[in-house]
């Protein structure tokens, strides 16, 4: 099963993806945690370019092309081989991030994005997508706090104006209605434990997860 975590800056995805991985592992599941852009050594090289503040002025179509180049490598080298051997793959971001960041946020036509997607990775989509719902103001506050505490973060998108981040938020909320068969909303405003419990309830209720027995 392929589960993706989606949301704006500072939504708490990285914390929750590890908590879900730990929980599923405790149930005897074989779990792989990965991220996009990146996930493999070659794809991580492309990530370094994409998240750099020095590339903030690149044409957003260039971003889309690089994202799908990294995504194809990621799929071929990690995601598909893991799924074929029965593993659960948890991924921090996937194609929906491109649809929202480069599409809703930066104005790339959805037709362009879907055409590049079809050419590079075909019809492949996640089995389940968790969409983290948190206001841009609260998310950016978290992101900046994380950057201050760890020295990580402060990627180029965190420096974009608030209108951009609200376009991202609205784009993510639209995913819930556009792809209702696989997208589930996660209230990301609560404490870490309550969010983790809500995510596990969503995953165990999903028919293809194979985790229903854990509910009893």
- Count up the domains in the chain and report the number: 1
Its pTM stands at 0.90
CATH code of 30's domain: 3.40.50.300
134: domain range?
2-215
d(CA 148, CA 150): 6
Residue length of the chain? 216
- Locate 116 and state its tokens: 């590049």
Write the DSSP assignment of 98-134 as a string of letters: IIIIIIIIT---HHHHHHHHHHHHTT---SEEEEEE-
d(CA 44, CA 188): 27
* Segment 76-129, tens digit of pLDDT: 999 999 999 999 999 999 999 999 999 999 999 999 999 999 999 999 999 999
- Locate 138 and state its tokens: 């609260």
Give yes or no for a contact between 207 and 135, defined as CB atoms under 8 angstroms apart: no
d(CA 191, CA 197): 10
Give yes or no for a contact between 9 and 143, defined as CB atoms under 8 angstroms apart: yes
pLDDT of 209 strictly over 80: no
pLDDT at residue 152, as a whole number: 59
Q: What is the dihedral of CA 88, 92, 93, 94, to 10 degrees?
A: -30
* Segment 11-66, tens digit of pLDDT: 999 999 999 999 999 999 999 999 999 999 999 999 988 887 676 678 999 999 99
**Quick one: which of 105, 94, 95, 97 has its CA closest to 60?**
105
pLDDT of 215 strictly over 50: no
* Segment 121-163, tens digit of pLDDT: 999 999 999 999 999 999 898 877 766 555 655 567 777 889 9
């Amino acid at each position: 099963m392929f589960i993706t975590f989606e949301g704006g800056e500072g939504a708490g995805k990285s914390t929750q993806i590890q908590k879900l991985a730990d929980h599923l592992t405790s149930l005897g599941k074989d779990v792989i945690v990965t991220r996009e852009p990146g996930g493999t050594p070659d794809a991580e090289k492309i990530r370094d370019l994409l998240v750099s503040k020095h590339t903030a002025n690149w044409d957003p179509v260039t971003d889309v092309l690089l994202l799908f180049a990294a995504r194809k490598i990621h799929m071929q080298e990690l995601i598909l081989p893991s799924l074929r051997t029965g593993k659960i793959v948890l991924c921090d971001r996937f194609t929906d991030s491109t649809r929202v960041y480069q599409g809703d946020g930066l104005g790339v036509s959805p037709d362009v994005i879907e055409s590049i997607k079809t050419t590079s990775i075909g019809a492949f989509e996640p089995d389940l997508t968790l969409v983290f719902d948190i206001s841009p103001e609260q998310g950016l506050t978290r992101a900046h706090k994380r950057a201050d505490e760890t020295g990580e973060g402060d990627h180029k998108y965190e420096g974009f104006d608030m209108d951009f981040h609200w376009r991202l938020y609205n784009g993510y909320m639209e995913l819930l209605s556009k792809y209702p068969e696989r997208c589930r909303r996660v209230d990301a405003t609560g404490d870490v434990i309550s969010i983790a419990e809500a995510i596990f309830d969503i995953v165990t209720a999903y028919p293809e997860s194979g985790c229903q027995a854990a509910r009893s």
